[in-house]
Amino acid sequence: YDAPFPFYRRPAEMGCFSLDAKRCYHGDARQLRYYVPLPSENPSPGFDLRDGYHDRYVQRDDSVREGLEHLLQWIVQNRKQLQTEDKGKLLNADFVTWRGHLTKVLTTPYESRDGWLLAVTLFRGTLYISEFETEAARREREQRSEMLKEFMYMGYKFEQYMCADTPDGIPDPTGVVNTNEGFCTVIRSRLGSHSILFSGEVDCTDPRSPSPQPPSCYVELKTSKVMHSPAQRRSFYRHKIIKWWAQSFLLGVSRIVAGYRGPDGSVVGLETFETMKIFKLIRDDPGCWKPAVCMNFCAAFLAFLKTVVTEDNPKLVHLFAWNPRHPVSFTVHQDSHYCFLPDWYVEALSAGSPPRPNFQTDALEA
């Protein structure tokens, strides 16, 4: 996959939606928050990322599998702008998925620890990709240490210190951190010959951004352990920033603001990364990852899905599995618990459109 960087069309925002404190869907931007930069004379803000962990924290139940449901709700509400002239196809997209699933595919060539399970269904000419939890990930979630739980909280707490509810507001770190809440952008792009409609959560928008159009005005907020040596920074560039880059590059988010935390959980410094310049930080390290390898692997994987999943059937699932140091494999499941397209979605998209003949060829199997 070490070839020239493939074509990736500038991501275009098609719409957005919000999830409220009870995780209910709203087809608007009510949960969008606004980035508040620190005054430049304050390089060490000293935010206490542990504050509120025991008394002002409402956690989303991460044992509940949501699948593509919220994105599918958005599609049903916005079908008109997704219509296509293409016979046999209902939406003008080859693939529908979450940004997080694509991120996992992008980073696969360099992943040495975590495998993945991606279920794929072809419905009305579009391939839907939905992740299932691996056994290893389930075990890890159920046995998560107290320290790891606190680190996860710190990431959300950092967002609270850096964001306001209005464009000219100020952050309120005394409030409750509720991880049910979220704002998601819906993006259309093209990787090589594959058109993709996907959604991802966005931390905030910068009302003072030099490019006010979404998604480039969005800002991704991250926390990481403070680094003291060149070796630690090299490890950070090799293993952590690849995921940060993949997440933001896919969505077209132009900036990542990192808060570095000390051992006591306070933010000791901030650093801003421009997504499009991250490759310059790593290109002189011969053992480091390459953005082109990530994107070429993803394009090849999507092409592979098109050749394998050819039966248009919302109840048929091809389950693709990958583990480090193994090739991608797949199994086929009919009417199983891996079925992930809800009946309400299949019915909503089938209503009001004449049944189309299902042209199937065996040429793709060859």
Q: How confident is the model over 221-243, as a mean pLDDT?
A: 96
pLDDT interval class at 355 (50, 70, 90): very low
Q: How confident is the model over 152-162, as a mean pLDDT?
A: 98
> Shortest CA distance to 271 belongs to which of 203, 205, 221?
221
For residue 46, being part of any structural domain is answered with yes
pTM of the predicted model over 0.85 = yes
Q: With 70 as the cut, is the pLDDT of residue 75 above it?
A: yes
For residue 361, being part of any structural domain is answered with no
Q: Are 314 and 346 in contact (CB under 8 A)?
A: yes
User: Which segments of the chain are extended strands (E)?
Assistant: 12-19, 25-26, 34-35, 57-58, 95-98, 116-123, 126-132, 163-164, 177-178, 182-191, 194-201, 204-205, 218-225, 255-261, 267-274, 316-322, 329-334
Q: What tens digit of pLDDT does each residue of 292-329 get? A: 999 999 999 999 999 999 999 999 999 999 999 999 99
For residue 49, being part of any structural domain is answered with yes
> Shortest CA distance to 180 belongs to which of 30, 62, 99?
62
For residue 327, being part of any structural domain is answered with yes
Q: How confident is the model over 348-355, as a mean pLDDT?
A: 69
Q: What is the dihedral of CA 38, 40, 43, 49, to 10 degrees?
A: 0
> What's the number of domains the chain is made of?
1
For residue 33, being part of any structural domain is answered with yes
Q: With 70 as the cut, is the pLDDT of residue 50 above it?
A: yes
Other Cβ atoms closer than 10 A to 60: 14
| CA-based end-to-end distance of the chain | 22
Instruction: State residue 86's pLDDT score.
Output: 83
What are 17's strand-pairing partners? 184
pLDDT interval class at 41 (50, 70, 90): low
Which two structure tokens, joined as six digits, stand for 333?
A: 């499941």
Residues with Cβ within 8 Å of residue 237, at least 6 apart in sequence: 281, 282, 285, 288
Domain that holds residue 14: 8-351
For residue 197, being part of any structural domain is answered with yes
Alpha-helical regions (H) of the chain: 69-77, 99-107, 135-142, 146-162, 230-235, 241-251, 278-282, 291-308, 343-350
Instruction: State residue 366's pLDDT score.
Output: 24
Distance of alpha carbon 98 from alpha carbon 135, whole angstroms: 21
The percentage of residues in the chain with a pLDDT greater than 70, rounded to a whole number, is 95
